[in-house]
Amino acid sequence: MQNPCVTFHRINAGSDRALIALSIDGRAVTGLDGDTLLSVLIMHRGALRRAEAGGDLRAGFCGMGACQDCWITLADGRRVRACSTLAEAGMAIVTNLDHGQ
């Protein structure tokens, strides 16, 4: 489910950054070593989550760990801030993007 109104492209990604494999809602995706979970979610899904009230798409708010907008759940049950948690190979992210309006 990519948001049709938003397209993100990497710029100056750096050829020295290794690809890492992880998943979002059971779908295999890749990120680059050093990416945050927020950047992986935005690149592959166009959003972070759906708002609890109304179901609107959300992409985080501050992007630096100061607010409470980017908390996500990993398949192992951990709740982490997507903006300040580095993606690791094998991580499995669970979102509510496919459920909602």
pLDDT at 22: 96
CATH of the domain at 65: 3.10.20.740
Residue 30 lies in domain: 19-94
In a domain? residue 11: no
Any domain includes 66 = yes
Asked if residue 7 belongs to a domain, the reply is no
pTM: 0.78
Number of independent structural domains in the chain: 1
**What is the rounded distance in angstroms from the CA atom of residue 13 to the CA atom of residue 10?**
6
- Entry field: residues in the chain: 101
Residues in contact with 78: Cβ distance below 8 Å, sequence separation at least 6, in sequence order: none
Q: Which residue has the higher pLDDT, 74 or 12?
A: 74
pLDDT tens string 69-101 = 788 899 999 999 998 999 999 999 998 777 544
- Residue 83 placed within a domain: yes
Q: What are 17-68's pLDDT values in tens digits?
A: 889 999 999 999 999 999 999 989 988 887 777 777 877 777 766 666 667 7
